[in-house]
């Protein structure tokens, strides 16, 4: 059985923000680049968002003095983070951001053309910006257009299942051509390259309660299987999200102070936040959750109590938890006087004094309501099922200041790279996708060209033979291949 062999100087796996950025930069630097992906529009970047999806960068507006070292120190202060990586992320941030602006990502400017920023989680400056709820999608689409225009070759509908090793370094991958998976040879192909860049995102398939899109699985396991070192693999970011339609319930979804209820087998709704915290404190922390979305152990006595109580209802008491926008929480007063001063002033200044959470949400953020309606959920009529969900892996494959993994020939960029530690400023994941991709591509472009004697066919035949030995059920073979990758 002959298997197709593709060749490129750089192989990038993944078509999200990180993969397309790496492929585009490498191709523009004269490196013949092939991008292989399970699905061009699959993964987190193309299919996710939030109330205001944030991009974190060096402050670039007159209102805020900033420096590369200040930003690096703030990233480093998240804990468990490598200082060199923090410095690279800060140093590359303005360049990466302007590159995206030039590609047409619609980051807003003020009347004077300044990219005015706002303060995000775990940061004291106003470095954050947003192109709206779908910032990562705008980025991925803009990078994809530019990458295709630059001549990056694409192998779509191919699923990488095994790294090809030769003389101690990574020299490519074995992938499944999904259209030919059920045929003799299992659709296995080899892609041989001097350098392989993993841009395969977070290992989303680890969690049941997840706000990753369904189409994101991850494939870090391929590198771990070959002995790559990992870093901070246990450092995940969790937060409250709706589960029937996967979406973070951050920002205005909390600031309008909806009612949190849990329901058990008797079907009787219970206001568990007010029961546990008292009515006023429950409302105060709900409002605060809008600003402090991710669960943070350091805020276990503050807004993260909400996450802990939701988790307890679901996993200790076996109850389902909902956000209910139809009714105010217990103890609510229409003059807002049950709220602490900051929340009261904020809602009054926003004109959000309507009698129900739904009406306040409509007033403050009508697109947030429309989004759910477009996905079959009417917040005016039904409660919204939520859970504490996995959103982002801060750790991942260990990389150095060129985003090289510990396996020679293998780079990791974007979420599969373990560049963060305990906490990270909101929006810094998207900055990391761009800076890491830029650094990896520049490093690859400086390397000598390797010989092209290696074909990888022995490894492909060996894997095909192992699959032949499995029961003749496509599902069993498919599962075996996916397990290898994840």
CB 414 within 8 A of CB 16: yes
Q: Is residue 201 a contact point for ligand FAD (CB under 6 A)?
A: yes
- Choose the binding region for ligand FAD from 148-156, 193-201, 294-302, 453-461 (rule: CB under 6 A): 193-201
The residue among 39 and 340 lying less far from ligand FAD, judged by its C-beta, is 39
Residue 377 C-beta: closest distance to ligand FAD, Å: 16
Q: Decide whether 16 or 357 has the Cβ nearer to ligand FAD.
A: 16
Our finding on whether 217 is near ligand FAD (CB under 6 A) is yes
Min. distance of Cβ 197 from ligand FAD in angstroms?
A: 11
Position 18 contacts ligand FAD (CB under 6 A): yes
Among 377, 151, 389, 356, residue whose Cα is nearest residue 250: 389
Report the Cα 329 to chain-centroid distance in Å: 32
Q: Does 53 help bind ligand FAD (rule: CB under 6 A)?
A: yes
Q: How far is the CB of 276 from ligand FAD (least distance, A)?
A: 27
Structure tokens at 281: 């404190």
Which of 415, 422, 439, 477 is in the footprint of ligand FAD by CB under 6 A? 415
**Site membership for ligand FAD, residue 425 (CB under 6 A):** no
Which of 102, 214 has the CB closer to ligand FAD?
Answer: 214
Measured between alpha carbons, how far is 37 from 485 in angstroms, rounded to an integer? 13
Q: Which residues pair with residue 194 across a beta bridge? A: none
Q: Which of 37, 93, 262, 459 binds ligand FAD (CB under 6 A)?
A: 37
Taking the complex as a whole, the smallest distance from the CB of residue 97 to ligand FAD amounts, in Å, to 12
Contact 35, 15 (CB under 8 A): yes
- To ligand FAD, the closest distance from the beta carbon of 66 in angstroms equals 18
**Segment lying near ligand FAD (by CB under 6 A), choices 61-69, 215-223, 316-324, 466-474:** 215-223
Helix (H) or strand (E) holding 386: strand 384-393
b/e 27-36 (16+ beta carbons within 10 angstroms → b): bbeebbbbbb
39 is a contact residue toward ligand FAD (CB under 6 A): yes
Choice from 27, 33, 50, 231 touching ligand FAD (CB under 6 A): 50
Residue 159 binds ligand FAD, judged by CB under 6 A: yes
- 472 secondary structure, DSSP code: S
Stretch that binds ligand FAD, among 34-42, 142-150, 266-274, 468-476 (CB under 6 A): 34-42
Give the phi and the psi of residue 279 in degrees, each rounded to 5: -60, -45
- Of the candidate spans 1-9, 177-185, 308-316, 422-430, the one that interacts with ligand FAD by CB under 6 A turns out to be 422-430
CB-based contacts of 243: which residues, under 8 Å, 6+ apart?
209, 385, 386, 387, 389
Of 71, 427, 460, 481, the residue at the interface with ligand FAD (CB under 6 A) is 427
**CB 136 to ligand FAD: min, Å:** 4
CB atoms within 10 A of CB 7: 16
Residues 97-136 within binding reach of ligand FAD (CB under 6 A): 136
Binding window for ligand FAD (CB under 6 A); candidates: 41-49, 253-261, 263-271, 340-348:
41-49
3-state secondary structure of 164: strand
* 486 and 219 Cβ atoms separated by less than 8 Å: yes
- Cα(86)–Cα(82) distance, rounded to whole angstroms? 6
- Residue pair 283/303 in contact (Cβ under 8 Å)? The answer is no
Give the nearer residue to ligand FAD in terms of CB position, either 131 or 309: 131
The smaller minimum CB distance to ligand FAD, of residues 185 and 396, is found at 396
- How far, in Å, CA of 228 to CA of 416, rounded? 12
Binding region for ligand FAD (CB under 6 A) out of 60-68, 181-189, 421-429, 446-454: 421-429
For ligand FAD, the binding residues in 242-271 under the rule CB under 6 A are 248
CA separation, residue 89 to residues 39, 85, 237, 395 (Å): 28, 6, 19, 15
CB of 19 to ligand FAD, least distance (A): 5
* Rg from Cα positions in the chain: 24
Does position 219 interact with ligand FAD (CB under 6 A)? The reply is yes
135-154 binders of ligand FAD (CB under 6 A): 136
Does 19 sit near ligand FAD (CB under 6 A)? yes
Interface with ligand FAD includes 414 (CB under 6 A)? yes
Pull the structure tokens for residue 440: 């990896």
Total of chain residues touching ligand FAD, rule CB under 6 A: 43
Q: Which of 93, 242, 254, 391 binds ligand FAD (CB under 6 A)?
A: 391
By CB under 6 A, residue 372 contacts ligand FAD: no
| Helices marked H in 229-271 | 252-255
Angle at the Cα of 414 from the Cα atoms of 413 and 417, rounded to 5 degrees: 60
Angle at 15 between CA 14 and CA 17, to 5 degrees: 110
Classify strands 54-56 and 33-36 as parallel, antiparallel or unpaired: unpaired
Which one, of 9, 18, 24, lies nearest residue 218 by Cα? 18
Q: Cβ contacts of residue 217 below 8 Å, gap of 6+?
A: 38, 203, 204, 205, 482, 485, 486
Choose the binding region for ligand FAD from 208-216, 305-313, 363-371, 456-464 (rule: CB under 6 A): 208-216
Helix, strand and coil percent figures for the chain, each rounded to 5:
35, 20, 45
Q: Which residues bind ligand FAD (CB under 6 A)?
A: 13-19, 36-39, 42-45, 48, 50, 53-54, 136, 159-160, 199-201, 211-212, 216-219, 248, 391-392, 414-415, 426-430, 433, 485
């Amino acid at each position: 059985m002959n298997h197709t062999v593709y060749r490129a100087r750089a192989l990038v796996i993944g078509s999200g923000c990180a993969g397309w950025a790496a492929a585009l930069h490498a191709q523009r630097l004269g490196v013949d680049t092939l991008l292989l992906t399970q699905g061009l529009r699959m993964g987190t970047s193309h299919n996710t968002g939030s109330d205001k999806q944030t991009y974190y960068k060096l402050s670039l507006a007159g209102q805020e003095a900033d420096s590369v070292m200040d930003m690096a120190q703030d990233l480093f202060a998240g804990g468990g983070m490598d200082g060199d990586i923090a410095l690279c992320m800060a140093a590359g941030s303005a360049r990466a951001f302007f590159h995206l602006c030039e590609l047409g990502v619609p980051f807003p400017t003020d009347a004077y053309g300044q990219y005015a920023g706002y303060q995000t989680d775990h940061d004291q400056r106003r470095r954050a910006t947003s192109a709206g709820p779908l910032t990562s999608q705008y980025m991925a689409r803009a990078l994809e257009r530019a990458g295709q225009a630059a001549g990056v070759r694409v192998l779509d509908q191919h699923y990488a299942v095994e790294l090809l090793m030769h003389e101690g370094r990574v020299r490519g991958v074995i992938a499944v051509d999904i259209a030919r998976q059920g045929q003799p040879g299992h659709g296995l192909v080899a892609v041989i390259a001097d350098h392989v860049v993993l841009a395969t995102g977070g290992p989303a398939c680890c969690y049941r309660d997840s706000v990753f899109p369904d189409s994101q699985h991850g494939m870090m396991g391929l590198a771990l299987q070959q002995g790559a070192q990992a870093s901070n693999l246990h450092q995940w970011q969790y937060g409250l999200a709706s589960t029937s339609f996967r979406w973070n319930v951050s920002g205005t979804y909390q600031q309008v102070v909806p009612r949190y209820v849990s329901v058990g087998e008797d079907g009787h709704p219970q206001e568990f936040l007010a029961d546990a915290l008292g009515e006023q404190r429950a409302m105060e922390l709900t409002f605060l959750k809008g600003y402090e979305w991710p669960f943070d152990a350091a805020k276990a006595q503050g807004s993260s109590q909400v996450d802990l109580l939701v988790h307890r209802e679901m996993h200790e008491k076996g109850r389902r938890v909902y956000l209910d926008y139809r009714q105010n929480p217990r103890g609510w007063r229409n003059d807002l006087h049950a709220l602490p001063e900051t929340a009261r002033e904020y809602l009054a200044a926003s004109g959000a004094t309507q009698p129900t959470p739904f009406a306040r949400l409509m007033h403050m953020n009508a697109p947030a309501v429309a989004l759910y309606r477009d996905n079959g959920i009417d917040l005016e009529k039904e409660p919204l099922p939520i859970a504490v969900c996995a959103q982002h892996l801060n750790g991942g494959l260990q990389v150095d200041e060129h985003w090289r993994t510990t396996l020679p020939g293998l780079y990791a960029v974007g979420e599969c790279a373990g560049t963060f530690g305990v906490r990270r400023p909101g929006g810094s994941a998207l900055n990391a996708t761009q800076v890491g991709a830029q650094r990896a591509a520049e490093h690859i472009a400086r390397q000598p060209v390797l010989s092209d004697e290696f074909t990888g066919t022995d490894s492909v035949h060996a894997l095909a033979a192992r699959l032949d030995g499995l029961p003749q059920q496509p599902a069993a073979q498919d599962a075996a291949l996916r397990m290898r990758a994840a």
